[in-house]
Amino acid sequence: MKCNFAIALLLAISLTACTTSAVTIGREMPTEVTSGEAIAFVFSPQFSLDARRVEESEIIGCISDVVRKAHPKLRIVPPEEFRRTVFPDLAPEAAPNTPEYFALILNHPTFKERVSTLSIRYLISVVGGMEQTGGVDVGGVSGPGGGVLVIAGSWDRKSSLTASVLDLRQGHKAGKLEAVATGTPWLLIVFPSPIMIGAATFTESKACGDLGEAVAQFIAGEDTPAAEETQR
């Protein structure tokens, strides 16, 4: 046990946090944004055993901010306004958010009438979340000068967001974009020194920022690479 923690101590000191991200874009139809048109975002969390709770307001707010910087004159309809207008008889938590559901009603007269009041050209349904595995170990390391208590932890974190772009005017799916960010944050605390060092990775902000940039280019019809990977 003491040997294992000594190795963990040396390994942790030598580590630096790294976030790797990848963006994949699949276009099915041409896209463009004209004056007077709007877009809307909705979010649906992806559930798994290792999933961590993410809020719609944080994810959609992050993506919207990036899109708004690229298209300052573009009106972005908040999720709450979209649900209140399109699904007035449903409670917000009961309103559908998934691209599979919207694909079934894209050409339904009632749906088309309601979204037309908001002048929405593209509905962007975002699905995803953050998964994290790992944990903290506690142990002791002995030496000539006495013993120390070591608390060491590391986690594997992955944030994945997929955006389906639905053209409400044409009544079809225009494409799908995916942003994935991974990282390994870690923490080391040594007593009685005390020494506390560590490194964070913000995979959520990286994934939503990258997706926002991809969406901004996509709806404008700009050519984008099929896949892009970066490291931070």
d(CA 9, CA 12): 5
Q: Which helix H or strand E contains 204, and what residues bound it?
A: helix 203-219
pLDDT the model gives residue 16: 54
The answer to the question of residue 231 being in a domain is: no
List the one residue out of 149, 135, 184, 199 whose CA is nearest residue 9.
149
pLDDT the model gives residue 68: 96
The answer to the question of residue 16 being in a domain is: yes
pLDDT the model gives residue 181: 92
The answer to the question of residue 232 being in a domain is: no
Show the domain range for 42: 2-224
| Spans in the chain with pLDDT lower than 70 | 1-17, 47-51, 143, 145, 223-232
pLDDT in tens, 155-179: 788 899 999 999 999 999 999 999 9
pLDDT the model gives residue 50: 59
The answer to the question of residue 110 being in a domain is: yes
**Number of separate domains in the chain:** 1
d(CA 137, CA 97): 40
